[in-house]
Chain A
Amino acid sequence: MDITEYIQLVFTDYTLRTITLGTAILGAVCGMLGSFAVLRKQSLLGDAISHAALPGIAIAFLITGAKDTNTLLVGALVSGLIGTFWIRGIITKTHLKSDTALGLILSLFFGFGMLLLTFIQKQPNANQAGLDKYLFGQAATLVESDVWLMAIVASICLIVLLFFWKEFKILLFDADYTKTLGFNTKTIDILITSFIVLAIVLGLQTVGVVLMSAMLLAPAAAARQWTNSLAKMVFLAAVFGAFSGVFGTAISASQNNLSTGPVIVLVAGVFVVFSFIFSPSRGLLFKQIRFIKNRRDLQLHKTLAFMHNIAETHEDISHPHAIRLLNNFQGYTKSTLQKLVDKNYVELNGNMWSLTKTGFKTAANLYTKQSIEDE
């Protein structure tokens, strides 16, 4: 199956279209809200909440006895919120640290959820089959109404985000200042946290409890590398998230035996690795290049200083010397020497070099003051 064929199939095939749309919207929402989670240093909150949602799903099923997606999601939302506020209670009221609180809630809620799930499985109610799809998610079970739900939640998120943009932004970067300005920080805080919980709960059906945190984090972490502006970061993260969803669905659809969730997470992971390496300002590659360039410049200066030392002993500063003299000198290469020539500090003549007047002057002042050209 080649690409054009696949794209055609996306538009004609109902299942594929639904899944592609669903994962794209999910990726975008998670990217948007994930940016806040990452910047608020709550990266692992997503992991904890997604695990904490499990008992809610089980209890919702136990109460209603039906496998209606929306009821189960409400259950997940409630238990996710309880988990979140308990985490907050542990962190603020006791001396236990945030990592302990997260790990605690994550494992305890998940274990309790599993207890309920296994308990449900032993019940005579035949309806229970398929509840465990929430563990790892099954994008294939998405139907049009689910996609509509996602789209509605996504637009609500977007509207609230635009409406409270200023408040979210200021709380993110300077919580104390926000308080002094008279904003109700607690409400803003609860609002943004609730939205993060909502996004996580929405994703449970598609990518599952275990991998949900990566959906939240990866696009945001990738977007963070490209910009220092919050608005751009949120936008980029949404784009990355949506593309991870689309590509992940495409890859898993073109192969047998590939569940969508893990593939989406891996695609998002590729985005992250790419951003880590190739981002122009923060990326590892360019950082290394800058590092090497700086070292070269320094050594060029050292070479120049060495030349100056030699030239000083002669009456005529432009007296030619053999290039051999510079051998064994760190940082000396044909190309660096050429650089000095280009800057008109040195003249080359066959195997000999000589300092020019400007070169001598620059070298003399090299360590006393910064020359303007070097800045």
Chain B
Amino acid sequence: MNSAQLEIQLIASLVAVACAIPGTFLVLRKMAMISDAISHSILPGIVVGFLITHDLNSPLLILLAALTGIITVVLVEYIQKTGLVKEDTAIGLVFPALFSIGVIMIAKNADDVHLDVDAVLLGELAFAPFDRLIIDGTDLGPKSLWIVGTILFITITLLFTFFKELKVSTFDKGLAASLGFSPAIIHYGLMSVSSVTTVGAFDAVGAILVVALMIAPAAAAYLLTKDLKKMLTLSIGFGIFSALLGYWVAHWLDASIAGSITTVLGIVFLIVYLFAPTKGIIAVLYREKQQRTEVSLLTFLLHLKNHDEISERHVKHLNEHINWQKVRSKTVLDLAQKNNMITIENNIVSLTEKGDEFTSKAIDYIITNEDAQIEDMKDDFFLFRG
């Protein structure tokens, strides 16, 4: 591993952290698509900045582009406020328009602008180490490392200073407002940080990867925890892991680093999506299946409780009467027997004392919807876990 490789990985990891922090809040505030809109609509800002400064790394360019990002947010909110279209339509209208303006500006000034639209969307991390910051003849490292580092420093400072405010306003806007934190300031603050991060990161990793790095780690973390601090830590962890692994995959395939980091992020998300302990798709499907069985069980027990006649409690009759398929009735019967809720004698099913008590309790719960009575059942049955 030479120093250029080390620098690339360092930049990628810093970008990952810088994106994961605002990304977590965007996902929690249901504004994930805003980051996509910003990442596209900063293009005209970048082009104008580039025409003025002729330097992709100049601070003015970053400021201009960030300004365009904020203009996007303001425009979207204005259109939404008129009530003419819904929020998502407003987003979908604003950013392609701005992006088109950017593309046309590039095309019209093709002689002046050595700026490729591909490069804006995808970035080229592999070239990042060649653009170095040199002050007084001393080499201080790649420019993008300094830019991303500064942005990350600002983001972390803001995060620690305003963590409480961010948390409150994210989860309870009304409470935040009544406590005296202006939701507007926090909202626009977050939007500004997202814009600046997007701009600062774009020339290293491109606009699309910025979106992926903001949303994917946060979404994966959100499936694993409900604690904000843990979610932040997890998404930072996912981000760094994908950045490093993605770099080596790209190295191995000799392909775009940005694309490969995104792909690793996708795989990470897919794994979490499938296997997350309680929110994962497998867990959800299993829970739904169990709940279906348990509803059947309850129906079955209720039937037994309501009927004393032997004819109604005959195994064969139950099959017909409740109209279940064989497999299903067997699962339900087994479950009931395993829990000692029924006994079967000569093919006649009867409730045990435990089953009787369980049924009354469950019915009571369904009618009154009071939680206290079923605390002890929650461990055994998915049905009552909500």
On whether the two chains bind one another, the answer is: yes
Binding site for B on A (CB under 8 A): 38, 41-44, 46-47, 51, 89-90, 93-97, 99-100, 102-104, 106-119, 122, 132, 135-136, 210-211, 213-214, 216-218, 221, 224-225, 257-259, 261-263, 265-266, 269, 272, 276, 282, 284
Which residues of B sit under 8 angstroms from A94, Cβ to Cβ?
Answer: 223, 273, 279-281, 284
Shortest distance between the CB of B77 and any CB in chain A (Å): 15
Contact A282 B36, CB 8 Å, known A108-B269, A115-B256: no
Q: With A46-B92, A99-B88 given, can you name 8 additional A-B contacts, CB distance below 8 Å?
A: A47-B36, A100-B30, A108-B269, A116-B255, A214-B96, A259-B104, A262-B101, A269-B97
Does B82 make an interface contact (CB < 8 A)? Answer: yes
SS of B interface (majority): helix
Shortest distance between the CB of A260 and any CB in chain B (Å): 11
Inter-chain contact B92/A214, CB cutoff 8 Å: yes
Which residues of B sit under 8 angstroms from A122, Cβ to Cβ?
Answer: 254-255
Shortest distance between the CB of A257 and any CB in chain B (Å): 5
Docked CA distance A258–B109 (Å)? 11
SS of A interface (majority): helix
Q: Which residues of chain B from 258 to 296 have a CB within 8 Å of any chain A CB? A: 258-263, 265-266, 269, 273, 279-281, 284-285
Inter-chain contact A221/B100, CB cutoff 8 Å: no
Inter-chain contact B265/A111, CB cutoff 8 Å: yes
Inter-chain contact B104/A211, CB cutoff 8 Å: no
Partner of B107, one of A93, A110, A259, A272: A259
Contact A108 B103, CB 8 Å, known A118-B255, A284-B82: no
Inter-chain contact B40/A282, CB cutoff 8 Å: no
Inter-chain contact A102/B258, CB cutoff 8 Å: no
Partner of B223, one of A46, A96, A211, A216: A96
Shortest distance between the CB of A340 and any CB in chain B (Å): 34
Shortest distance between the CB of B294 and any CB in chain A (Å): 19
Which residues of A sit under 8 angstroms from B253, Cβ to Cβ?
Answer: 115, 119
Inter-chain contact A95/B279, CB cutoff 8 Å: yes
Inter-chain contact A272/B262, CB cutoff 8 Å: no
Interface pick from B210-218, B302-310, B315-323, B330-338: B210-218
Q: Which of the four size classes fits the interface of chain B?
A: 35 or more
Candidate in A42, A108, A258, A284 with the most chain B CB atoms within 10 angstroms: A108
Docked CA distance A251–B208 (Å)? 29
Partner of B104, one of A104, A108, A114, A258: A258
Inter-chain contact B262/A108, CB cutoff 8 Å: yes
Which residues of B sit under 8 angstroms from A113, Cβ to Cβ?
Answer: 259
Shortest distance between the CB of A314 and any CB in chain B (Å): 48
Does B85 make an interface contact (CB < 8 A)? Answer: yes
Inter-chain contact A44/B88, CB cutoff 8 Å: yes
Docked CA distance A261–B281 (Å)? 39
Inter-chain contact A111/B258, CB cutoff 8 Å: yes
Which residues of B sit under 8 angstroms from A116, Cβ to Cβ?
Answer: 255, 259
Shortest distance between the CB of B18 and any CB in chain A (Å): 16
Does B33 make an interface contact (CB < 8 A)? Answer: yes
Inter-chain contact B100/A263, CB cutoff 8 Å: yes
Partner of A111, one of B86, B107, B214, B266: B266
Inter-chain contact B118/A211, CB cutoff 8 Å: no
Contact A103 B32, CB 8 Å, known A108-B269, A122-B255, A217-B92: yes
Of all chain A residues, which has the CB nearest B43? Answer: A210
Which residues of B sit under 8 angstroms from A221, Cβ to Cβ?
Answer: 84-85, 89, 93
Inter-chain contact A100/B84, CB cutoff 8 Å: no
Contact A97 B279, CB 8 Å, known A210-B99, A214-B92: no
Partner of B100, one of A38, A42, A224, A262: A262
Inter-chain contact A112/B259, CB cutoff 8 Å: yes
Docked CA distance A210–B102 (Å)? 12
Inter-chain contact B110/A106, CB cutoff 8 Å: no
Shortest distance between the CB of A248 and any CB in chain B (Å): 10
Inter-chain contact A103/B82, CB cutoff 8 Å: no
Inter-chain contact A43/B88, CB cutoff 8 Å: yes
Which residues of B sit under 8 angstroms from A119, Cβ to Cβ?
Answer: 253-255
Inter-chain contact A210/B209, CB cutoff 8 Å: no
Shortest distance between the CB of B262 and any CB in chain A (Å): 2
Inter-chain contact A93/B212, CB cutoff 8 Å: no
- One digit per residue, 1 when the CB lies within 8 angstroms of any chain A CB and 0 when it does not, for chain B 231-258 equals 0000000000000000000100111101
Does B219 make an interface contact (CB < 8 A)? Answer: yes
- One digit per residue, 1 when the CB lies within 8 angstroms of any chain A CB and 0 when it does not, for chain B 182-222 equals 00000000000000000000000000110110111011001
Sampled A-B contacts (22; CB under 8 Å): A44-B88, A93-B281, A93-B285, A94-B280, A99-B30, A100-B32, A100-B218, A108-B266, A110-B208, A111-B208, A115-B253, A119-B254, A132-B118, A210-B96, A217-B93, A221-B84, A261-B100, A262-B100, A269-B100, A276-B79, A276-B84, A284-B84
Of all chain B residues, which has the CB nearest A109? Answer: B266
Which residues of A sit under 8 angstroms from B260, Cβ to Cβ?
Answer: 115
Docked CA distance A102–B263 (Å)? 16
Docked CA distance A42–B103 (Å)? 26
Shortest distance between the CB of A57 and any CB in chain B (Å): 14
Docked CA distance A107–B27 (Å)? 14
Does B31 make an interface contact (CB < 8 A)? Answer: yes
Of all chain B residues, which has the CB nearest A255? Answer: B108
Of all chain B residues, which has the CB nearest A211? Answer: B96
